[in-house]
């Protein structure tokens, strides 16, 4: 059954700021659906206790959420591209490839959103760029993608929802000098 449009749509005044303020990562863990508690269809109330790590990035970031309908039902395709100008950590940045994460962003309007909470987002590519001109971007572009049931969920408060930010982490989610985010057996130190 289709829905009828009965009202027009008015584009209001622009009161939103563009851009991302902070980006956090955590390894994706497949939790049972009942451990991820939502309020309505758009707000995450509770998530299993998870330590998240700050990703230092430049302001250039793109997020695309595309809702689709197919024979299996509604889904949302998520595509996130991050940029970092840190050129020293090629070996460590390349470890992002083919690992699954949840990504939490805080935008300049104070909105906090979580991506990949149900199925995780996979780092599909890491591209190293050196610009032609002095003001061109030089660094890494990391692209994540995944398919989720719903659009990203809003989070009112990270701590109340179950997330513990590790703010003093460096670019690749280091804790006290040990690598904690990588899912292979290379330099992992598990955090309890």
Domain residue ranges of the chain, discontinuous segments joined by +: 20-179
Give residue-wise pLDDT tens across range 6-51.
666 666 666 667 778 889 989 999 999 899 999 987 899 999 999 9
Give residue-wise pLDDT tens across range 66-100.
998 888 788 899 999 988 876 666 667 777 888 89
Give residue-wise pLDDT tens across range 102-127.
999 998 888 999 999 999 999 998 88
Tally of CB atoms within 10 A around 51: 18
Task: Please give the torsion angle defined by the CA atoms of residues 100, 184, 31 and 69, in that order, rounded to the nearest 10 degrees.
Answer: 30
> What tokens were used for 140?
């890494």
Give residue-wise pLDDT tens across range 150-185.
899 999 999 999 999 875 544 444 444 444 544 444
Helix locations, the chain, DSSP H? 90-93, 158-161
- pLDDT band for 191, please (50, 70, 90 cuts): very low
Q: What is the mean pLDDT of the chain?
A: 79
Residue pair 118/146 in contact (Cβ under 8 Å)? The answer is no
Q: Determine the distance from the C-alpha atom of residue 113 to the mean position of all C-alpha atoms in its chain, rounded to a whole number.
A: 8
* pLDDT value at residue 184: 47
* pLDDT value at residue 14: 64
Higher pLDDT residue, 189 or 100? Answer: 100
Closest CA to 47 of 26, 65, 19, 20: 26
pTM reported for the whole predicted model: 0.74
Q: Determine the distance from the C-alpha atom of residue 112 to the mean position of all C-alpha atoms in its chain, rounded to a whole number.
A: 10
> What tokens were used for 32?
């049972």
* pLDDT value at residue 178: 47
* pLDDT value at residue 185: 44
Question: In 3-state terms, what secondary structure has residue 158?
Answer: helix
- pLDDT band for 134, please (50, 70, 90 cuts): confident
Q: ∠ CA(36), CA(40), CA(45), 5° rounding?
A: 40
Closest CA to 111 of 83, 70, 153: 153
Higher pLDDT residue, 64 or 177? Answer: 64
Closest CA to 139 of 153, 158, 124, 126: 126
CA–CA separation, 53 and 180 (whole Å): 10
If you write DSSP's letter for every residue of 79-107 in order, what string do you get?
A: EEEEEE---S-HHHHGGGBT-EEEEEEEE
Q: ∠ CA(180), CA(43), CA(51), 5° rounding?
A: 15
């Amino acid at each position: 059954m289709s829905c009828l449009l009965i009202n027009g749509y008015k584009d209001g005044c622009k009161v939103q700021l563009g851009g991302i303020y902070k980006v956090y990562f955590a390894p994706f863990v497949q939790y049972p659906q009942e451990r991820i508690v939502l309020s309505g269809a758009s707000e995450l109330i509770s998530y299993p206790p998870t330590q998240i790590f700050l990703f230092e990035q430049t302001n250039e970031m793109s997020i695309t959420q595309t809702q689709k309908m197919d024979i299996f039902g509604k889904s949302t395709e998520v595509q996130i591209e991050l940029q970092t100008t840190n050129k020293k950590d090629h070996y460590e940045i390349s470890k992002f490839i083919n690992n699954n994460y949840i990504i939490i962003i805080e935008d300049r309007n104070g909105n906090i959103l979580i991506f990949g909470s149900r199925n995780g987002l996979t780092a599909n590519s890491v591209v190293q760029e050196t610009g032609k001109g002095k003001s061109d971007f030089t660094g890494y572009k990391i692209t994540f993608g995944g398919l989720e049931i719903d659009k990203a969920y809003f989070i009112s408060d990270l701590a109340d929802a179950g997330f513990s930010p590790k703010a003093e982490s460096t670019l690749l989610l280091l804790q006290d000098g040990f690598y904690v985010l990588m899912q292979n057996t290379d330099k992992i130190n598990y955090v309890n």
